[in-house]
């Protein structure tokens, strides 16, 4: 499971002209899932994300977590995070989990974030053509891969 975490001052997801998710200060999380991902990856990744100290304190030092700031979250599925670009110029997405595997894991991840954060998380729509807008704050962008835990 791979996540791109972006600290934002605002973010939204629009599908076919309709805004389906909209937040102010918080995180936009792009999530890519592979077949080998399992429940343990979900728990570890969610805990890591909600406790990352990437929000500024009163001294402008990144010392607060999402939990500390009560920030909002949007989670967007993005199979292209699992692209392989080793050969040629056309990315291969063979590592990305098919929907029958990815959807339950994606939904479980959203529920885990909600549980760890204690609030509702907004989402895009799995498999939809989404327009994602954000204002990256900092910019702060962090990539976490559960296959590189150690």
Report how far residue 127's alpha carbon sits from residue 64's, in angstroms, rounded to the nearest whole number: 33
Report how far residue 12's alpha carbon sits from residue 82's, in angstroms, rounded to the nearest whole number: 23
Report how far residue 119's alpha carbon sits from residue 73's, in angstroms, rounded to the nearest whole number: 9
In the DSSP assignment, the letter for residue 86 is S
Active site residue 79: yes
- Phi/psi for 140 (5° steps) reads -120, 115
* Given the residues 9, 14, 69, 80, the one annotated as active site: 80
Q: Is the peptide bond before 103 cis (omega within 30 degrees of 0)?
A: no
Report how far residue 55's alpha carbon sits from residue 78's, in angstroms, rounded to the nearest whole number: 24
Active site residue 80: yes
Radius of gyration of the chain (CA): 15
* Given the residues 6, 9, 14, 79, the one annotated as active site: 79
* Given the residues 78, 112, 123, 146, the one annotated as active site: 78
**Active site residue ranges:** 78-80
């Amino acid at each position: 499971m791979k996540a791109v975490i972006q600290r934002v001052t605002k973010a939204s997801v629009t599908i076919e002209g309709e805004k389906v998710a909209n937040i102010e200060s918080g995180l936009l999380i792009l999530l890519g899932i592979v077949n080998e991902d399992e429940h343990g990856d979900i728990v570890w990744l969610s805990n890591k994300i909600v406790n990352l100290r990437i929000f500024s304190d009163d001294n402008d030092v990144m010392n607060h977590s999402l939990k500390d700031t009560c920030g909002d979250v949007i989670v967007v599925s993005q199979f292209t995070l699992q692209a392989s670009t080793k050969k040629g110029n056309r990315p291969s997405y063979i590592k990305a989990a098919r929907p029958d595997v990815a959807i339950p894991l994606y939904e479980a991840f959203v529920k885990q974030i909600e549980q760890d954060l204690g609030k509702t998380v907004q989402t895009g729509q799995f498999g939809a053509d989404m327009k994602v807008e954000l204002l990256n704050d900092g910019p702060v962008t962090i990539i976490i891969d559960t296959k590189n835990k150690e």
